[in-house]
Structure 1
Amino acid sequence: MKFRLPLLLFLSSSTFLFIGYTIYNLQINQGEQYTLKAQAQSLTSYESGAERGSIYFTDKKGEKIPAAINKEISVIYLVPREVEDIQETKARILNQLIVDEAKLEESLNKVTDQYEEIKVGATNDEVKRIQAEEIKGVYIKNIRTRYYPFDSLAAHVLGFVGINKTTTKPQGLYGVESYYNRTLTGVTGIFSKSTDGKDITLTIDRVVQVEAEKMAEKIVKEFQAESADIIVQDPRTGKIIAMTSYPTFNPNEYQDSFVKNFINPSVQLQYEPGSAFKVLTMAAGIDSGAITPDTTYTDYGELTIDGRTIRNWDLKAHGLTTMTDVLGQSINTGTVFAQQKMGKEVFYKYIKDFGIKDLTNIDLPGESGGSIAPLEEEKRDINFATASYGQGISVTPIWLINAISAIANGGVLEQPYITNESKSYVSRRILEKETTDQVTKMMIDAVDGAHVAKIPNYSVAGKTGTAYIPNFESGGYTDEVINTYVGFAPATRPEFTILIKLTKPQTQKLAGQTVVPAFRVLAQTLLTYYNSHPDRIE
């Protein structure tokens, strides 16, 4: 079986080549832990001893649904050195089983081997037919193996159990299987009774996860994009309700996937968030007292700083406008104005207080922190200006949704978590509630003005982001973009925050025409699923 070496990094951030190199070097140097692929076996079997704990999804009623369990299966295998006639043996096997003929012949020709798998997970009928054939050198055994009943559902969250070059025994690789490997594994007794591993219940709601995965696949195919990531979070507690990335993989058949598909982009890969970051710039400006939603600014369509010209995304001059309109119309120059009113030190303090450089400490392996290196290594005015609208700095999707959830949660930042076992009630206030009330209203006005994400009888707060992807070979930016939409509803008493990220769409480049309609559909589904009460009359 052939494996391709992964490009571990879908890279994110910076207006300059040196920051791109820094991120690249960081993640490549740390990439070893992300690229370990199963080498020796195509399944994970368990010897006698401790039983691995199960993993469960949940639903809105608190019911547990098995997501990863242990299952006994039949394996048909051969001992090539015992085979007397390769062609006859091959013919007899193919007469009873549907397997790859070329692979079968390759296994049969390994004449010194003592073990080659023919069929893993054979049906009872297949087992009986092979037994009836009595083929010399062909055997059947039953094993305990890890099984994922919903195949690829939440694969990036779950990970899988397997063997790689660092171990000869099955263990959790990637996802929750890896993060909680010790808890799940239990203790195999030598002179005493074995202690089975503990079960784990995820905060992932299976119904919401299914809807998120359908949407991620839909927008990738519809807009011919490279990938999509969707996270749904409860802003009141920090718990993750859904987390998915597409393309994905089937943990039951992980050996057939490329290693790069095992990486969870929502927590492990950075990117430049673009205009979605303007929400946090406005929040910092209002909280610091530098601006109010009604502060006015005259927009001339462009602004030159340190010899570089910043233009609005629509290449228009909007004239006299308020900060509310700056956010609603996503005016780059107006956002720079807000940052400049704060000053570099205050702006830096706020985004650092948001935890942009820190890990969120979600209970998933391999989390990456963000980067604001241009604001620390070369403190030029232009670096702060571009950072105000989300270019030249990098974040992870989990950090961005968590920061926006703090707006929804009245200024209190919760620690995100994905298993009920990890809820630690870690929270801290980063903004005054009066500030978040004002920013929320600004976000609602933005949605109402654009109409695309608007949902009848509900207030929705949200913000788009379309960010160009850096060119790490020649510097500057490519023509490829990442679309982001992040928002919460019902905005006056938020029950969920949704982040949708679409990488390299080809048929449409603007977030308003890709991820915003997707957000509206998914948000409508959740409002119905949770029986959310309308918070506005229209």
Structure 2
Amino acid sequence: MASYKETLIQKRRILYLLLGVFLTTILVFIRLFYLQVVRHKDFSALATSQHWTRSTLLAKRGQILVEDYYTHELYPIALNQALDMVFVVPAEIEDREETALRLSEILNIEKEKILEMFELGPYYAPIKHKLTEEETKAIEEAKLKGVMVTSEQWRYYPEGELLSQVLGFVDRDGNGKYGIEEVYNNILVGKSGVFKGEKDPSGIPIVFGENFLEPPKDGDNLVLTINRDIQLIVEQKLKEAVEKHRADGGSVIVMDPNNGAVLAMANYPTFDSNKYEEVNQDSYYVFNNPCVAGEFEPGSVFKIVTMAAGLDSGKIEPEDTFYDTGSKTINGRTITNANEKTYGKVTMTQVLAQSINLGTVHILSEMGKDIFYSYIKKFGLGVKTGIDAPYEAFGKVFEPHEVGDHHYATMTFGQGISITPIQLATVASAIANGGNLVQPHLIKKILKEGKNEEVKEYNLIGQVISPATAANLTKMMIKVVEEGHGYQAKIKGYKIAGKTGTAQVPAVSGYDPNKTIGSFVGFAPALDPKFVILVKIDVPRDVVWAESTAVPVFGEIADFLLKYFQIPPSE
């Protein structure tokens, strides 16, 4: 018979056993609760994925088009192109050395580099994109194990460098970068679709199973305001001028002054949107569009703003006279005319035609800093124009209380103030069209689903100066071309209005004595303008003045445009 002590030990063992069974049961229930309740969605999704196949159907990116001026036909300048690429499945390659050698011979890539690519992963290692037809054919005929060819969609720009800084490019992930491609990326990219279908345990689709299809929605097409014919001429003339004068670069804008439509926009140097990856990292600045993103001190071309302010405020008239002594000291600092010339008694019209610095300083003294500043703001300077291009700069305009009298005096002839080329083209457009500030823009219309038109509407921003002021200033700008520094813009039989500007370039301290920026902005026919042209040449090496760099380019482009638009001479 068991002793009391042995009986007690047996009872404890049974109790521990029951407790263990109880705890085990609790843990099983907790685990089941976790799997069936907490992780229900996860396992349900896993079961679904094993029973259903799902594919993403990629949308086609919308095209970017230009419209022919005469026929109104649309031509693509950015479209999609299917090109082959080759990749390998390294785990399936039997002889890496031999495979790398064969690929090296076909693709013209070093064998060692291809062997390095094999190490990118066991199941997928891209070797080369954008294969030629010959390369694709050679790879397929080689029948190399583990080497695959597949098709990819790439953005293609059939005109190469043409309009590159306006268009931008599309990166490998399908995202628009810079230019129109970036600004309108969400419209161009479209929306991917989905296909979902049942499959059997071996992964084979069930023919009569339940299927679901949501088709992709392709991106919308964009039609630009750009005229391809004009763009070609503008880029050609700009490149010739920059190379002729060994300049750092240059920009040209052609705009319709009546509605703000940009007909051409070019910069040099530039790049090929198809080959953006070949641009050296030190040259990434070429991706930006200086017409929109580049600020510069305009120099004497800005005198049209000062003159407009003086005329519109009633402080001066075109034939008012002023006696030029050749210099003026303000706050202990002396201002002179270009080349330190003295002109004596001159009219306001002569001040503009001969580009007399002290004449615009005189206008400031007549109207005061507050009135001058108010017109600078009315012309939209110091703020973005709102053009549909990325990274637009503001420019820099000082309020009267921010700087002294000397600084404000230099602003009247375009030093100590910075603007962008598109701002200057917009200012000239306001003078040309009778005083209205227009919204510069690059998009003419959007083609929804490739066919339904959505015409973009752009309203006038507002009246900046009166029609009478615009008319008087236009007559004064005609004198700049006929009797002043803009003489190389003259075209027989036509009235041309314009203004030159040769600006010093700011340095760490003061201005660089060896650098200038030459610009010319004008419109034609002067009394019934059909276009505004801005030309800017940055830091020419052989000449100093805009009349020798920017003005001739304006003249050549204007001559082409008058013929292109079939505008008859008026005299």
Contact 1:312 / 1:332 at 8 angstroms: preserved in 2?
yes
Structure 2 distance, partners of 1:239, 1:228, is 21
**Which deviates more, 381-390 or 125-134?**
125-134
Q: Secondary structure at the match of 2:102?
A: helix
Name the counterpart of 2:174: 170
Could you tell me whether the CA contact under 8 Å between 1:86 and 1:109 is conserved in 2?
Answer: no
Q: Paired residue for 2:60?
A: 51
1:458 and 2:494 aligned: yes
For 2:345 and 2:313, the matched residues in 1 are separated by: 23
Are 1:491 and 2:526 matched, yes or no? yes
**Aligned equivalents of 2:125 and 2:272: distance in 1?**
23
Aligned partner of 2:316 in structure 1 is 291
Matched, 1:67 2:92: no
SS at match of 2:340: coil
Q: SS in structure 2 opposite 1:389?
A: coil
Deviation at 1:255, TM superposition (A): 0.9
Change (3 A) 1:340 1:193: same
Tell which deviates more after alignment, 77-86 or 333-342. Answer: 77-86
Q: Distance in 2 between matches of 1:79 and 1:312?
A: 73
C-alpha deviation, 1:86, in angstroms:
5.7
CA contact (8 A) 1:60 1:530 kept: no
Name the residue aligned to 2:548: 513
**TM-score, length-normalised on structure 2?**
0.81
SS of the equivalent of 1:325 reads: helix
Task: Give CA-to-partner distance per residue, 1:419-473, whole Å, 9 cap, x none.
Answer: 01343223311000110111001110110114211000011001111111111x3
1:214-293 superposed matches below 5 A: 214-257=236-279, 258-293=283-318
Q: Which amino acid aligns with 1:262?
A: F
Cα distance, 1:58 vs structure 2: 2.0
Following the alignment from structure 1 to structure 2, what is the Cα–Cα distance between the partners of residues 394 and 469? 11
What is the identity percentage for the equivalent residue pairs of Structure 1 and Structure 2?
42
Partner Cα distance (1:292, 1:524) in 2: 32
- Contact 2:169–2:179 at 8 Å: present in 1 too? yes
TM-fit CA distance, 1:89: 3.9
Q: Which residue of 1 aligns with 2:517?
A: 482
Task: Return the match for 2:86 from 76, 83, 102.
Answer: 76
1-structure distance, mates of 2:509, 2:138: 62
Structure 1 counterpart of 2:368, one-letter code:
G
SS in 2 for 1:122: coil
In the aligned structure 2, how far is the partner of 1:291 from the partner of 1:373? 24
Backbone CA RMSD of aligned residues: 1.9
Shift of 1:118: 4.2
Between structures 1 and 2, the one with greater helix share: 2
- 1:335-374 to 2 correspondences below 5 Å: 335-373=360-398
Deviation at 1:374, TM superposition (A): 6.1
Q: How far, CA to CA, are the matches of 2:109 and 2:556 in structure 1?
A: 42
Matched residues in 2 for 1:217 and 1:331: separation? 31
Taking structure 1 as reference, are residues 137 and 223 closer, same or farther at Cα in structure 2, changes over 3 Å only? farther
Q: 1:22-421 to 2 correspondence within 5 Å?
A: 48-61=57-70, 62-79=72-89, 88-97=98-107, 99-101=108-110, 105-114=112-121, 115-163=124-172, 169-190=173-194, 192-257=214-279, 258-373=283-398, 375-378=400-403, 380-421=404-445
Shift of 1:147: 1.0
**Cα distance in 1, alignment partners of residues 407 and 69 from structure 2:** 44
Residue matched to 1:426? 460
Are residue 441 (structure 1) and residue 502 (structure 2) matched? no
Partner amino acid for 1:221? Answer: E
Structure 1 residues 111 and 341: CA distance shift in structure 2, 3 A: same
Between 1 and 2, higher relative CO (CA 8 Å, sep ≥ 6) is seen in 1
Give unpaired runs (5+ residues) of structure 1: 1-45, 164-168
Instruction: Pick which of 71-80 and 191-200 moved more.
Output: 71-80
For 2:232 and 2:363, locate their aligned partners in 1 and report how far apart those are by CA, in whole Å.
Answer: 40
Q: Structure 2: how far apart are the matches of 1:71 and 1:323?
A: 58
SS in 2 for 1:139: strand
**In 2 relative to 1, CA 319–178 (structure 1 residues): closer, same or farther, beyond 3 Å?**
same
Per the alignment, residue 35 of structure 1 pairs with none
Q: What are the Cα deviations for residues 468-496 of structure 1, in whole angstroms up to 9, with x where unaligned?
A: 1111x334445211111111011110000
Structure 1 stretches of 4+ with a deviation exceeding 6 A read: none
Q: What is the identity, as a one-letter code, of the residue corresponding to 1:218?
A: E
SS in 2 for 1:531: coil
Structure with greater Cα Rg: 2
Q: Secondary structure at the match of 1:228?
A: strand
Aligned residues of 2:249 and 2:539 also touching (Cα < 8 A): yes
Residue aligned with 1:229, SS: strand
Instruction: Tell me the CA shift for residue 117 of structure 1.
Output: 4.5
Q: Where does residue 452 of structure 2 map in the other structure?
A: none
Decide whether the 8 Å contact of 1:80 with 1:107 is kept in 2.
no
Q: Distance in 2 between matches of 1:514 and 1:478?
A: 18
Letter of the 1:248 partner, please give it.
T
